[in-house]
Amino acid sequence: MSVQLSSTLAVPEDIQDLLATYVTQINQQWSADLSGLVLFGSVARGDYILGRSNINILLVLHKLSVDLLQRAGKLHQQWGKHKFIAPLLMTEDDLVRSQSLFPLEFVQMTHSHVLLAGRDPFGEAQIDTTRLGWQCEQELMANVLRIRQRFIEGEGRVEAVQALLLLSITAVLPSIRGLLYCVGQTSREKDQHMLEALPHTLGFDPTLFLEILSFKRGISSPGVYEWTKLYQRYLDNFEVFIQRVQEIRREGRLCK
């Protein structure tokens, strides 16, 4: 299996070196078992945050076995300390089924991945936008319920509110990308650029989402006593966003 590590990844040189070493090791030890090795997630999309972003890898296998899972466990034991998430192991049949069962996850990987070795498993995939639209709405509503519940679990403490808001914006971004795909808009940009385009693409003011994103990236931070106020603003803003998505559905734009 030939190595195809891209030299255009927008990550620091030491991360490039780690990826190169990882790909070389996979090429040496897994070549007979793999049809494709894919980098996906924030690193592939160009949204890498030093010290915060994880590295997500998909291993596309000819077939699965307990032996391969055990080998993947040893691989993760070696690479987990470098912020490599446990690799996602799938067969080509798994990918075919996932295209209709998990359209949101599939469209994210299709649009934001880098082929590191072997054959690209995504090709010219066609996503069912009706299924995708419903999954995006479901994820958004689930996010609202989670941030309410986590506020209660954290008893409204500042550190708990901070954590739940940063986790929430991370969870929301994929659904926004999925919605953009449904309405025929590009969803390949970096997180910030995608949010900045929301007034045009979805008719929604993203100011507060961008503010939370800047906190996530460590660019800025509110005062200690502002987090609870920010939570209320975020909750109100999020509900407005869900209403806007429902309007788009009534307009027939999510059922193409």
Q: For residue range 56-109, what is the model confidence (pLDDT) as tens digits?
A: 999 999 999 999 999 999 999 999 999 999 999 999 999 988 988 999 999 889
For residue 179, the number of C-alpha atoms closer than 13 Å in the C-beta half-sphere is 27
Of the residues 86, 118, 150, which one is the last residue of a structural domain?
118
Domain span holding position 178: 129-250
**Residue 16: per-residue pLDDT:** 85
Q: Quote the number of domains for the chain.
A: 2
User: Average pLDDT, whole number, for the chain?
Assistant: 89
Amino acid symbol at 201: T
Q: Are residues 63 and 152 in the same domain?
A: no
In a domain, 2, yes or no: no
Judge whether residue 5 has pLDDT over 60: no
Distances (CA, A) of 161 to 142, 150, 186, 233: 17, 8, 32, 12
Q: How confident is the model at residue 9 (pLDDT cuts 50, 70, 90)?
A: low
Judge whether residue 127 has pLDDT over 90: no
> Could you tell me the CATH number of the domain that includes residue 82?
3.30.460.10
In a domain, 58, yes or no: yes
**Residue 12: per-residue pLDDT:** 76
Q: How confident is the model at residue 10 (pLDDT cuts 50, 70, 90)?
A: low
Of the residues 84, 118, 152, which one is the last residue of a structural domain?
118
**Residue 8: per-residue pLDDT:** 55
| Mean pLDDT, range 24-34, rounded to an integer | 91
In a domain, 193, yes or no: yes
**Residue 239: per-residue pLDDT:** 93
Query: How does pLDDT run across 158-210, given as a tens digit for each residue?
Result: 999 999 999 999 999 999 999 999 998 876 778 999 999 999 999 999 999 99
In a domain, 169, yes or no: yes
**Residue 1: per-residue pLDDT:** 47
Q: Where are the beta strands (DSSP E) in 78-163?
A: 88-91, 113-118
Is the separation of the CB atoms in 138 and 179 below 8 Å? no
Q: Within a 10 A sphere around the Cβ of 55, how many other Cβ atoms? A: 22
Asked which of 6-10, 184-188, 206-210, 219-223 is least confident by mean pLDDT, the reply is 6-10
Q: Are residues 216 and 107 in the same domain?
A: no
In a domain, 229, yes or no: yes
CA dihedral 138, 143, 145, 147 (to 10 degrees): 180
Q: How confident is the model at residue 2 (pLDDT cuts 50, 70, 90)?
A: very low
Q: Are residues 111 and 211 in the same domain?
A: no
Q: How confident is the model at residue 219 (pLDDT cuts 50, 70, 90)?
A: confident
In a domain, 133, yes or no: yes
Map residue 240 onto helix, strand or coil: helix
**Residue 11: per-residue pLDDT:** 72
Judge whether residue 19 has pLDDT over 50: yes
Asked which of 12-16, 30-34, 92-96, 181-185 is least confident by mean pLDDT, the reply is 12-16
Of the residues 73, 90, 118, which one is the last residue of a structural domain?
118
**Residue 3: per-residue pLDDT:** 44
| DSSP assignment string, 14-54 | HHHHHHHHHHHHHHHHSTTTEEEEEEESHHHHT---TTT--
In a domain, 4, yes or no: no
In a domain, 56, yes or no: yes
Q: State how beta strands 88-91 and 56-61 pair.
A: parallel
Judge whether residue 123 has pLDDT over 90: no
Q: Are residues 81 and 144 in the same domain?
A: no
Q: Are residues 153 and 187 in the same domain?
A: yes
Is the separation of the CB atoms in 119 and 35 below 8 Å? yes
Q: How confident is the model at residue 112 (pLDDT cuts 50, 70, 90)?
A: confident
Distances (CA, A) of 98 to 62, 127, 187: 16, 10, 20
State percent of the chain over pLDDT 70.
Answer: 93
Q: Are residues 160 and 223 in the same domain?
A: yes
